[in-house]
Amino acid sequence: MSGVKELGYVVYEVSSLADWEHFGVELLGMQYGEKTDDGFTLRTDEKAHRWVITEGAADDLVASGYEVAGLAELDALVAKLRDAGLEVTEGDAALAAARKVERIFVTADPMGNRVELVHGLADAATPFHSDKLLGGFVTGAGGAGHQVLLTPGVSRETYLAFYIDLLGFKVSDIIVEELAPGIVADLIFLHCNGRHHTVAFGDMPSPKRTHHFMVEVTDIRDVGLAYDRCMDAKQPFEMTLGMHPNDHMFSFYVITPSGFSIEYGWGGLIIDDATWEVKTLDRLHSWGHRPPGVVAELLAAAPAPHGEDH
């Protein structure tokens, strides 16, 4: 198996390090990893980092680190990519040290997203600890979480050839929903381990490379507590609490200081490839996940309880 086995880490370039530290640690409940030359890292488990935050103007995803099972498998994957005509360069010792990996190769997907293929993401020197969480984050064999990337102007056939034929992902399912007359959401979800999807793709109007990154927690109460922390901090929401029909994730979407979203969830489905059947669903949400403005209007329009005034 020379394909990727998990999403090891993501790298974001952000314009405000202070806002991001507060957002990640105080609101999401991550652990501050370490200060770096151009930013800092965030931890969600025993690994040295899962998020690398760098300072810059992009306010967007700048790299995805996909872990491969072993050095031989990494060499085989690199050879496969090069045979397909892709440019793949080996990262130097400084880059490997910054990413806390044993070895690293760099290439790009058809949308121009930087893809880092790595082996040996290091453990941190200390156990994971969060002052905010009752439980922990779901990582392990499922990797850091999942991300949804945007595909402006790139055909599905083209990007699937990269992610499925070369990196070894498999299709989980597809959702096609008409959101309004003539406006259709069409997303495809891919997995490389038991997590329902590690990456998904859709052509949606956005100036960003990424729509959202999902972190999952082990205790459902932590979804509610994070929801309240974000609400109390007046952090803008993209979607309120709800559930997806495909991965069964109970979650909300909060907007980061950089303008893309974080899905904060619990209860995601685990796929067994031996029995999994790919389906096309017709809705993005089983229930909820309503825009906050819609919820606010509905609550404001509701009659006051008997004997009370608005």
Question: How many of the other CB atoms lie within 10 Å of CB of 82?
Answer: 13
Q: What confidence category does residue 305 fall into, taking pLDDT thresholds of 50, 70 and 90?
A: confident
The pLDDT of residue 180 is 84
pTM of the model: 0.96
Q: What confidence category does residue 203 fall into, taking pLDDT thresholds of 50, 70 and 90?
A: confident
Bridge pairing between strands 114-119 and 146-150: unpaired
pLDDT for 306 beyond 80: no
**The tokens 């031989």 sit on which residue?**
72
pLDDT digits (tens, 9 = 90+) for 82-101: 999 999 999 999 999 999 99
The structural domains of the chain, with segments of one domain joined by +, span: 4-123+135-296
The pLDDT of residue 186 is 93
Sequence letter at residue 92? D
Sign of CA dihedral 128, 129, 132, 135: positive
Q: What confidence category does residue 309 fall into, taking pLDDT thresholds of 50, 70 and 90?
A: low
Q: Distance between CA 60 and CA 208 in Å, rounded? A: 6
Superfamily, domain 4-123+135-296: 2,3-Dihydroxybiphenyl 1,2-Dioxygenase, domain 1 (3.10.180.10)
Q: Distance between CA 246 and CA 307 in Å, rounded? A: 43
The pLDDT of residue 307 is 61
Using a pLDDT cut of 70, give the percent of the chain over it.
Answer: 98
Q: Distance between CA 27 and CA 38 in Å, rounded? A: 22
Sequence letter at residue 68? V
pLDDT for 259 beyond 60: yes
Q: Distance between CA 119 and CA 103 in Å, rounded? A: 6
The pLDDT of residue 184 is 85
pLDDT digits (tens, 9 = 90+) for 122-160: 999 999 999 999 999 999 999 999 999 999 999 999 999
Mean pLDDT of the chain: 96
Q: What confidence category does residue 205 fall into, taking pLDDT thresholds of 50, 70 and 90?
A: confident
The pLDDT of residue 304 is 86
The pLDDT of residue 192 is 97
Helix (H, G, I), strand (E, B) or coil at 82: helix
pLDDT for 34 beyond 80: yes
